[in-house]
């Protein structure tokens, strides 16, 4: 990868191409020696970013390359926390009425109604 000059650029570019969903470039950067556990200013790793954008093939590639699931971001959330947030959001968006009923029932239980 002649267009990348420094180790820092390799790591930063891994986060960028992960966000954009470019699997082939993710593979190239891993092969070029990118730190797959590099964290951005928010503490997010490529694995967290891939899950945030539902780039499942990139998630698989990063896991195969040995990405650490246990790293915490600045909000103390790990990879699985990011993944569950995305899944929850998708389900809520698809079934808003069921989610509303869930919240009502949860409040009723909380307040013994």
- Return d(Cα 49, Cα 57) in angstroms, integer: 12
Tell me what pLDDT residue 107 has: 80
Neighbouring residues of 70: CB distance < 8 A, sequence distance ≥ 6? 78, 79
Query: What pLDDT is stored for residue 27 in this prediction?
Result: 97
Q: What is the pTM of this model?
A: 0.81
Res 109: pLDDT: 81
Residue partners of 23: CB distance under 8 A and separation at least 6: 55, 57, 58, 61
Give the domain ranges of the chain. 7-110
Angle at 50 between CA 46 and CA 54, to 5 degrees: 175
Distance CA 31, CA 22 (A): 14
Question: Could you tell me which residues come within 8 angstroms of residue 21 by beta carbon, excluding any fewer than 6 positions away?
Answer: 53, 55, 58
Task: Provide the pLDDT for residue 5.
Answer: 57
CATH of domain 7-110: 1.25.40.20
Q: What pLDDT is stored for residue 57 in this prediction?
A: 97
pLDDT of residue 101: 86
pLDDT tens for the chain, residues 1 to 113: 455 556 678 889 999 999 999 999 999 999 989 999 999 999 999 999 999 999 999 999 999 999 999 999 999 999 999 999 999 888 888 898 988 888 888 888 877 75
The C-alpha angle with vertex 92 and arms to 105 and 50, in degrees rounded to 5, equals 140
């Amino acid at each position: 990868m002649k267009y990348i000059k420094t180790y820092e650029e390799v790591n930063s570019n891994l986060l960028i191409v992960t966000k954009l969903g470019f699997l082939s470039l993710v593979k190239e950067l891993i092969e070029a020696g990118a730190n797959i556990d590099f964290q951005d200013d928010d503490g997010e790793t490529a694995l967290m970013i891939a899950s945030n954008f539902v780039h499942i093939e990139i998630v698989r590639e990063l896991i195969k390359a040995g990405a650490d699931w246990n790293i915490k971001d600045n909000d103390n959330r790990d990879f699985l926390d990011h993944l569950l947030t995305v899944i929850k959001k998708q389900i809520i968006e698809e079934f808003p009425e069921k989610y509303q009923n869930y919240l009502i029932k949860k409040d009723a239980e909380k307040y013994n109604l």
